[in-house]
Amino acid sequence: MSTQTTTSGERAALLAMARDLARHELLARSVDLDRGDREAIAECWRSLVGVGLDRALLGERHGGVELSVRDLLAALEELAVGDGGIAMCVLLCNTALATLTDEQLSEIPWGARWALVPATSGTEVTVSDGALDGRIECALGALGAHGLVVILDGPEPAAFAIDAGAAGSRLERDVTQMGLRAAPAALIELADIDCPCPAGRAPALDGSDCSNGMMSAANARALLRAGTAAIANGIARRAHEMALEYAHARQQGGVAIIEHDAVSDMLSAMAVRLACRPEVGAGRFGSDMTADPLGLAIDQKYALAVKIAATDAAVATTTDAVQVFGGTGYMVETGVEKLMRDAKYCQLFPEPNWVAHDELMRSERAGLRSGEPEQ
Amino acid sequence: MTPLARKQRPLSEDFPRLIDGGNALDVRELERLRARARRFAEEHVSPRAMEIDRRTDEDPSWFDWDLVRAGAEHGMLSFLIPKPAGGGGGLSTEAAVVMEELCAACPGIALIFGAHALGISPLLLGGPSQWDGVLSELVCSERTTRPLLMACAITEPEAGTDVEDPDLLARARITSHARRVPGGFRLSGAKRFISNGSVARWITLLMPTDPRDPAHTWTCFLVDASSEGFSVNRVEHKMGQRAAHAAELALDEVFVPDERVVSREGDGAAATMIVLACSRPPVGAIATGIARGAYERLLVWLEEDRAAKGLLERQHVQLVLASMEEEIHLARQAYMDAATELDYRALGGAMRHPAVRALGHVPAGIRKRRSVRGLLASDRMRDTTISILHRTTSESAVTRSVALSSMAKARGGDVAMRVTGAALEIVGLRGVRIRAELEKLWRDAKLCQIYEGTNQLNRLEVYRGLCRRETIACLPPLLAHRSAVPPPDAGVGGSREKILAGENGGPR
């Protein structure tokens, strides 16, 4: 991992590339991507690899483009305008790779897609004598990935890297996956998987953790939340764009439907939610560059808060967008109902929002107990 | 899907108005109908719901006729048909009770039977003239291995919500046209999003006889889907409720004889309002059933699944469950209130009118004689039916009924979305089976905010009927009054004009 950060010019160029990719490639393939079509996903992945978004956080020696977390989040939002599932693949891959050691990274072939898999310690996955056992349902992006990094929650978060096809692991497609289908989900079964060397560090990132270029499991989870918020923002932007365009074109009772308060009220509510959305790409991530030159120190509480706010807003906006379209919006070919499904999955990943609220309150309570209420 | 195990309270306890407005016999019949619907849902609908959803996602034109046959065996195709025609003689209340039961199991499958009932509804307004034609044919077919389905076609490619409102209809972009020819009409144009449109044998279809004046020439026709010139353009790929097809229909000079004009030429806008007053409480019930289905599945999962261990102890979960129970209860009260208002107050008098009851006692064999049939299908008999309607109800009563129906529909749709969304959030991405079932119900729920008029349009109906206490011109005019200028307060056309002009806070 590099200590360099992108300049504003590089950042603008990257965002332009992500925007271009979303508009011209992802949107054009959205039907195939929503079907979870392997070929379409592979082709989009090749394009993302071409611009370095598969290992955006890594340094040059690992073939990365040395983005900060902030820049990655901004790029994710742009990609999600094109397809939330593909943006999720980018997030999962970057987070997974960021938890690996230099040695592990050096063995990963160029262009390989990895996926981070959050799991509940004890109920879903157990660790005993360095061996993993368990069953994880609906692991987004896991199907077809070259490798997985399983991160466990709990008081001492930990991450474990597993090669796809490792002895004792079994992946089965989750055929019921409703949203973010371009990040194909799998049912993962782990039986006595030998993981002598955890990929990430526990419990939290500090200066010493950064020294060998690894991201801790706790920070990986926070990045997952912030990234999901960025993706939700992108999905909501696309829904608003589509609804606005349709409301101008469609007529009811002799006038464009945007002229009806019943419709314009919904469009206005969407615009308000978008204007007030948490700008995760410019938020409190790596803001203290002296203490955290990599920009990887993520404010855990802020990540939870933006994830909850952005995904709730995205569900409301996409649901309203379908309503603006009426019966037309309920039809798959319009592409707007897909946004509603994708947004709903953002609300449920990496944990449902009520669980995220719970975690937020745990840290609030912890702050009160230590006598240092957080800002 | 998960068997629905919860015991239900007797209808008479939950809805005292059923006793006040009807009689104990009605309630017992309603209980029996509900039990039959529940049995059908448990034995046939629940076990097939997920598989049908998957298959119709892969191929939207796939249709499960076996399920229709099973439904026919349980009387799900005839409960709305008048008793003299051999049916169950139900109205909006019966349709609503059946819909809640079926939708708790699968809203898509329920919609097949709901859309069939919607197709029948305009024929009920035709009175005795309709008993011995298609309605008795439907009853007969229910006892065979090839039951017939019905559909109702109103929406057009360029006109959706506005064809469900008499005032917006005047400015709607109607592209269909029924042209008068000797002996009947030639119908041309397209109809869109027609539930059961691709599988129905008979379709009650609304179209103007003068496209320049759709509001006053909107007419209901009974179209035989095997007619020359009738075709199905395509079956839509929907987000949910997939078991029931939504089809785009094309009509190219389809001939409809005079005797298959339902009611009279130009009465279609009024008929649409009454039909929507009848069909919106069942849509509220569809939504309530969806919410109940999600709630019951969530409860079973929380109580029995290992992955949910400890969740029921959490106050957050308890509060969410309590809120679901509350919302479902209120949504059910709203649809039953609307349905009983319509059946017992707004339209009950017409349905129980002595003349109608007397005709019902005439044996079908006599009614089917050519001379009697000719009399029943005559313009005079149609006018008599409308006259009975005028004597037994009023436009203000029907307007209030429409508003209550709209309230039940809009409220139900919102409740279905909230409850299914909240249930899904409690479960999260855990549990493949429960998640898949809840996701399906969540996708299904969204349609309840859209069909039978969007929730926004329905709330405007609530404003007109209850907040503003307007009276909509929603009864077909008596023949003698047809050329008369409508009284100033007879309709909301004027006020809607104001709304469209930017007054009253409506569309600018």
Q: Is residue B210 part of a domain?
A: yes
Between CA A94 and CA A74 the distance in angstroms is 14
Residue B503 pLDDT:
40
The per-residue pLDDT for B254 is: 98
Work out the angle at residue B371's Cα, subtended by the Cα atoms of residues B365 and B376, and round it to the nearest 5 degrees: 80
- Nearest by Cα to B459 from A251, A314, A270, A265: A265
Residue A22 has pLDDT above 70, yes or no: yes
Does residue A239 lie in a domain region? yes
Q: Does B311 touch chain A (CB under 8 A)?
A: no
Give SS3 for A11.
Answer: helix
Amino acid at B249: L
First to last CA, chain B: 46
Contact A344 B442 (CB under 8 A): yes
Residue A269: HSE in the Cβ half-sphere, 13 Å Cα cutoff: 17
* CA dist., res. B210 & res. B213, Å (int): 5
Chain B contact for A352, CB < 8 A?
yes
Q: Which CATH number goes with the domain that contains A357?
A: 1.20.140.10
In B220-353, alpha helices (H): 268-304, 315-340, 348-351
Q: Which residue has the higher pLDDT, A296 or B502?
A: A296
Q: Which residues of A touch B244 (CB under 8 A)?
A: none
CA distance A238 to A241: 5
**A238 lies in some domain:** yes
- What is the model's pLDDT at position B483? 45
**Nearest chain A Cα to B165, which residue?**
A253
SS (HEC) of B72-104: HHCCCCCCCCCHHHCCCCCCHHHHHHHHHHHHH
In a domain, A250, yes or no: yes
- In this predicted model, what pLDDT tens digit does every residue of B450-462 receive, in sequence order? 999 999 999 999 9
Joined together, the tokens standing for residue B307 give 């992955």
Q: What is the mean pLDDT of residues A15-30?
A: 94
Per-residue pLDDT of chain B (508 residues; tens, 9 = 90+): 444 556 777 877 777 666 655 555 678 889 999 999 999 999 999 999 999 999 999 999 999 999 999 999 999 999 999 999 999 999 999 999 999 999 999 999 999 999 999 999 999 888 788 888 899 999 999 989 899 999 999 999 988 777 877 778 888 889 999 999 999 999 999 999 999 999 999 999 999 999 889 989 999 999 999 999 999 999 999 999 999 999 999 999 999 999 899 988 999 988 888 898 899 999 999 999 999 999 999 999 999 998 899 999 999 999 999 999 999 999 999 999 999 999 988 888 887 888 888 888 888 888 878 888 888 878 788 888 888 889 999 999 999 999 999 999 999 999 999 999 999 999 999 888 999 999 999 999 999 999 999 999 999 999 999 999 999 888 887 664 444 444 434 433 333 343 333 343 334 3
Confidence (pLDDT) at B432: 87
Cis-peptide, bond into residue A350, ω within 30° of zero: yes
Is the Cβ pair B159, A355 closer than 8 Å? Answer: no
B449 touching A (Cβ < 8 Å):
yes
Using the Cα atoms of residue B113, residue B119, residue B120 and residue B121 in order, give the sign of their dihedral.
positive
Instruction: Please tell me the predicted confidence (pLDDT) of residue A239.
Output: 98
Domains of chain A: total = 1
Predicted pLDDT of residue B86: 92
Write down the pLDDT at residue B171: 83
Q: Are the beta carbons of B428 and A327 separated by less than 8 Å?
A: no
Phi and psi dihedrals of B188, rounded to 5? Answer: -135, 145
**Residue B261 in domain:** yes
Smallest CA–CA distance, residue A168 to chain B, in Å, is 22
Q: Which tens digits make up the pLDDT trace of B432-451?
A: 899 999 999 999 999 999 99
Listed residue (A10, A82, A3) closest to A48, CA to CA = A82
d(C-alpha B371, C-alpha B377), whole Å: 10
A9 within some domain: no
- The label of the residue with tokens 């005709």 reads B359
The rounded mean pLDDT for chain A is: 86
> What pLDDT was estimated at residue A12?
83
Rounded to a whole number of angstroms, the distance from the CA of B37 to the nearest CA of chain A is: 28
Report the C-alpha gap between B346 and B404 in whole angstroms: 11
CB < 8 Å to B155, chain A: 327
The answer to whether the CB of A65 falls within 8 A of the CB of A72 is no
- Say what the pLDDT of residue B350 is: 85
* Res A209: pLDDT: 37
Both structure tokens of A60: 């040059």
Is residue B170 situated within a structural domain?
A: yes
Question: How many helices (H) and strands (E) would you count in chain B?
Answer: 21, 8
pLDDT at B481: 43
Q: pLDDT tier at A259 (50, 70, 90 boundaries)?
A: very high
The whole-angstrom separation of Cα A341 and Cα A321 is 12
Within a domain: A65 = no
- Tell me the per-residue pLDDT of A322-344, one tens digit each, with 9 for 90 and over: 999 999 999 999 999 999 999 99
More confident residue, A317 or B25: A317
pLDDT for residue B497: 40
Number of domains in chain B: 1
Question: Closest Cα to residue B75, out of B37, B116, B25, B105?
Answer: B37
CB contact B122 to A (< 8 Å): no
Residue A361 is part of which domain span? 208-369
CA angle B355, B361, B363 (to 5 degrees): 130
**pLDDT tens digits, residue range A142-187?**
999 999 999 988 766 788 899 888 888 999 999 999 999 999 999 9
| pLDDT confidence tier of residue A296, bands split at 50, 70 and 90 | low
How far, in Å, are B18, B104, B152, B230 from residue B255 at the CA level? 44, 40, 18, 9
Which tens digit of pLDDT belongs to each residue from A64-106? 888 888 889 999 999 999 999 999 999 999 999 998 988 889 8
**Residue whose C-alpha is closest to residue A268's, from A195, A317, A323:** A317
Domain assignment present for B249: yes
Looking up tokens 């078991």 gives B243
- Cβ count near B464 (within 10 Å): 24
Six-digit token string for B356: 């109608």
Asked if A332's CB is within 8 angstroms of B500's CB, the reply is no
Rounded to a whole number of angstroms, the distance from the CA of B429 to the nearest CA of chain A is 6
pLDDT recorded at residue B23: 59
At B504 the three-state DSSP class reads helix
The closest alpha carbon to B215, from B448, B477, B489, belongs to B477
CA atoms of B346 and B274, how far apart (whole Å): 10
Q: Do A138 and B430 touch (CB under 8 A)?
A: yes
Residues 157-186 of A with CB under 8 A from B: 174-176, 178
> What is the rounded distance in angstroms from the CA atom of residue B458 to the CA atom of residue B456?
5
- Domain membership of residue B192 (yes or no) is yes
Q: Is B38 helix (H, G, I), strand (E, B) or coil?
A: helix
CB B129 within 8 A of CB B25: no
Of all residues in chain B, the one with the smallest CA distance to A325 is B450
CA–CA distances in Å: residue A268 to residues A195, A238, A310, B502: 52, 15, 17, 18
Token output for B256: 């409809």
Residues 6+ apart with CB under 8 A from B414: B449, B455
Q: Is residue B458 part of a domain?
A: no
CB atoms inside a 10 Å sphere around CB A310: 30
For residue A258, the 8-state DSSP code is: G
A199 band by pLDDT with thresholds 50, 70 and 90: low
CB proximity under 8 Å: A 51-110 to B: none
Q: How confident is the model at residue A197 (pLDDT cuts 50, 70, 90)?
A: low
Which chain B residues contact residue A178 at CB under 8 A? Answer: 436, 439, 443
Q: Using CB atoms, pick whichever of B162, B429, B446 lies closest to residue A253.
A: B162
Chain A, chain B: beta-carbon pairs less than 8 Å apart: 130
Burial class (CB in 10 A: 0-12, 13-18, 19+), A47: middle
Cα separations (Å) of A65 from A75, A104, A226, A292, B191?
A: 13, 18, 20, 18, 54
Could you tell me if residue B230 is inside a domain? yes
Contact B507 A262 (CB under 8 A): yes
Min Cα distance B110 → chain A (Å) is 18
Written as one string, the DSSP assignment of A270-324 is HHHHHHTS--GGGSSBS--TTT-TTS--B-HHHHHHHHHHHHHHHHHHHHHHHHH
- The pLDDT tens digits for B309-337 are 999 999 999 999 999 999 999 999 999 99
Distance, in Å, from the CA atom of B205 to the CA atom of B91, rounded to the nearest integer, reads 20
> A138 CA to chain B: closest CA distance, Å?
6
Residue of chain B whose alpha carbon sits nearest to that of A353: B425
Q: Is the pLDDT of residue A208 over 80?
A: no
CB contacts of B424 in chain A (<8 Å) are 344, 348
Domain assignment of residue B238, given as a range: 150-266
With an 8 Å Cβ cutoff, are A252 and B454 in contact?
Answer: no
Chain B residues inside the 8 Å CB shell of A311: none
Q: What is the pLDDT of residue B77?
A: 97
Percent of chain A exceeding pLDDT 70 equals 86
Chain A residue at shortest CA distance from B242 = A331
Which of the two residues, B423 and A301, has the higher pLDDT score? B423
Strand order in the sheet with A186-194: A125-128, A131-139, A186-194, A169-173
> Is the Cβ pair A323, B417 closer than 8 Å?
no
Angle at B144 (CA atoms; ends B139, B149), nearest 5 degrees: 55
Measure A178 CA to nearest chain B CA, in Å: 7
Banded model confidence at residue A123, pLDDT cuts 50, 70, 90: confident
Put simply, the chain B residues between 42 and 81 with a CB less than 8 A from any chain A CB are 54
> How much is the pLDDT for B118?
96
What's the confidence (pLDDT) of residue B504?
38
CATH number (domain holding residue B234): 2.40.110.10
